[in-house]
Copies of this chain bind each other. A is one copy, B any other.
Amino acid sequence: MSSPLDRAAAEALDAADPLAAFVDEFERPAGVIYLNGNSLGPAPKAALTRVAEAARQEWATDLITSWNKAGWFDLPYRLGDRLAGLIGAGPGEVVLTDGTGLNLYRVVSAALALRPDRRVIVMEGSNFPTNNYVVQGLVQSLGQGHQIRFAELDDLAAAIDDDVAAVVLTHAHYKSAHVLNMTGLTAKAHAHGALAIWDLCHSAGALEVDLNGCDADFAVGCTYKYLNGGPGSPAFLFVATRHQATATQPMTGWWGHDAPFAFERDYRPATGIGRMLTGTQPILSLVATEAGIDMIARAGTGAIRAKSLALGQLFQSLMGERLSDAGFILTSPAHPNDRGGHIAFDHASGYPIMKALIARGVIGDFRAPATLRFGFAPLHLRFVDVWDAVDRLAGIIHQGVWRDPAYAAVDAVT
């Protein structure tokens, strides 16, 4: 009987995988094992077709008539409704527009205006720092003395008190993949009269997310990671129905006007989530998102999460078997249920190791000072990919390949 960790075992897992067929719906460059879907998802073949069609038919051929013929005006709503089902939101609660940071600016503005007597915003300072930057910029612009109260992990709940206007938290940590208790922290915020804003960049399309089930107030997230929407594809924004009549945002523009084609002089906010929109959207990037969202919907987030955990467990087991004394320190939560779609290890020579690994076709990424991230987005990954990835990594470590000075040179973007 073969060892459970040899390549044949991985092949057997693929043979039994109910999601195996999705792999062929992606472009998969030859020789590459892509463990970075947590940063930029790979391209669904249907997305490439759709972008080409939008460029050639909607732009080049139908020109301005595409506003009606191709339904450009409805795109943020229509795609938002499709995405809503993946994150526990209802129809009319989600739009796709602009970037995650801009959307965070909108919903935090809205939340602070809904809690005018409170001045504290709770955030996890170690999480993706652009969220800190966005809130810092907003606070400075408002000039009303708001303060960010930073706390981490188990200290977050205790940081929420009656002074808090909003908690602004990222569901799955960009670096460690630690998943916060969305239900518990939202309830804690509500118990103190605060609003809960969730950043789903590292969980939408990777985990089961139930915004309405846990009574979240606002949420944002990107579509270019686990949703495979393409580089910099427009982000999403969720406003719970109960807030839509009263939530306001400062970047008021024509697409969020109650009568967007009446060209009235003064702003009147659209009814519903439309008021969160500002102006014309990047159509080619926006249409690219539909294929990925559709694929996640067909697969189901439950099945996706199950396979992601299985891929991650295989990776972790193989790392333990083949590289247990090579200096890799698991910095993701030890228990799979506590982490999102990727696994992080620290290594003192993480940077050259990752560069050497990428040069051998296994693409993960590196976050300073020492973290290697490996993403397990299951629709485009096979179990044998995981096996082969660890095999290549073991080769690099055991042969000392990463010590080549070429791998020490720092790239512009890491």
- Is there an interface contact between B284 and A51, defined as CB atoms closer than 8 Å? yes
Which residues from chain B contact A56 at a C-beta distance below 8 Å? 27, 43, 48
Which residues from chain B contact A133 at a C-beta distance below 8 Å? 252-254, 256-257, 266-267
- Cβ of A282 within 8 Å of any chain B Cβ, yes or no, is yes
- Cβ of A101 within 8 Å of any chain B Cβ, yes or no, is yes
- Is there an interface contact between A40 and B64, defined as CB atoms closer than 8 Å? yes
- Is there an interface contact between B102 and A279, defined as CB atoms closer than 8 Å? yes
Which residues from chain B contact A413 at a C-beta distance below 8 Å? 67-68, 72-73, 261
- Cβ of A126 within 8 Å of any chain B Cβ, yes or no, is yes
Which residues from chain B contact A317 at a C-beta distance below 8 Å? none
Copies in the complex: 2
Neighbour of A367 across the interface among B52, B132, B263, CB < 8 A: B263
* Chain-B contact segment, one of A160-168, A231-239, A339-347: A231-239
Within residues 44 to 63 of chain A, which ones have a CB less than 8 A from any CB in chain B?
Answer: 47-48, 51-52, 54-56, 58-63
Q: Please give me the residue from chain B that is nearest to A358 by CB atom.
A: B65
Which residues from chain B contact A254 at a C-beta distance below 8 Å? 101, 129-130, 133
In Å, the complex CA distance between A73 and B144 comes to: 34
Which residues from chain B contact A231 at a C-beta distance below 8 Å? 54, 58-59, 66, 72, 280, 282-284
- Cβ of A244 within 8 Å of any chain B Cβ, yes or no, is no
- Is there an interface contact between A109 and B278, defined as CB atoms closer than 8 Å? no
- Is there an interface contact between A250 and B138, defined as CB atoms closer than 8 Å? yes
- Cβ of A405 within 8 Å of any chain B Cβ, yes or no, is no
A-B residue pairs, 6 tightest by C-beta? A282-B285, A137-B252, A141-B250, A43-B60, A231-B283, A101-B279
- Is there an interface contact between A134 and B232, defined as CB atoms closer than 8 Å? no
Interface size (A, Cβ < 8 Å)? 95
From known contacts A133-B253, A250-B105, infer whether A261 and B414 are also in contact, taking CB-CB under 8 Å: yes
Which residues from chain B contact A250 at a C-beta distance below 8 Å? 105, 137-138, 140-141
Neighbour of A98 across the interface among B72, B98, B265, B367, CB < 8 A: B98
Which residues from chain B contact A62 at a C-beta distance below 8 Å? 29
* Chain-B contact segment, one of A11-19, A31-39, A183-191, A209-217: A31-39
Which residues from chain B contact A253 at a C-beta distance below 8 Å? 99, 101-102, 130, 133-134, 137
Contact string, A242-277, partner B, CB cutoff 8 A, digits 1/0?
Answer: 000000111111101100011111110000000000
- Cβ of A365 within 8 Å of any chain B Cβ, yes or no, is yes
Q: Please give me the residue from chain B that is nearest to A283 by CB atom.
A: B231
Q: How far is the CB of A65 from chain B (nearest CB, A)?
A: 7
- List 24 interface pairs A-B (beta carbons < 8 Å), by A numbering: A27-B56, A29-B63, A36-B63, A39-B64, A40-B59, A47-B55, A68-B411, A99-B278, A100-B279, A101-B278, A129-B254, A130-B279, A133-B253, A133-B256, A134-B253, A137-B250, A138-B251, A141-B142, A222-B280, A230-B283, A232-B282, A282-B282, A284-B284, A284-B288
- Is there an interface contact between A283 and B285, defined as CB atoms closer than 8 Å? yes
Neighbour of A141 across the interface among B61, B109, B129, B264, CB < 8 A: B109
In Å, the complex CA distance between A98 and B288 comes to: 17
Neighbour of A230 across the interface among B27, B59, B134, CB < 8 A: B59
From known contacts A51-B55, A231-B72, A234-B282, infer whether A137 and B63 are also in contact, taking CB-CB under 8 Å: no
- Cβ of A1 within 8 Å of any chain B Cβ, yes or no, is no
- Cβ of A368 within 8 Å of any chain B Cβ, yes or no, is yes
Which residues from chain B contact A284 at a C-beta distance below 8 Å? 51, 230-233, 282, 284-285, 288
- Is there an interface contact between B109 and A102, defined as CB atoms closer than 8 Å? no
Which residues from chain B contact A77 at a C-beta distance below 8 Å? none
Extra pairs beyond A98-B98, A99-B280 (16, CB < 8 Å): A43-B60, A51-B51, A73-B412, A98-B99, A102-B279, A129-B257, A133-B257, A134-B278, A137-B253, A138-B251, A230-B283, A232-B286, A261-B368, A261-B414, A282-B282, A282-B285
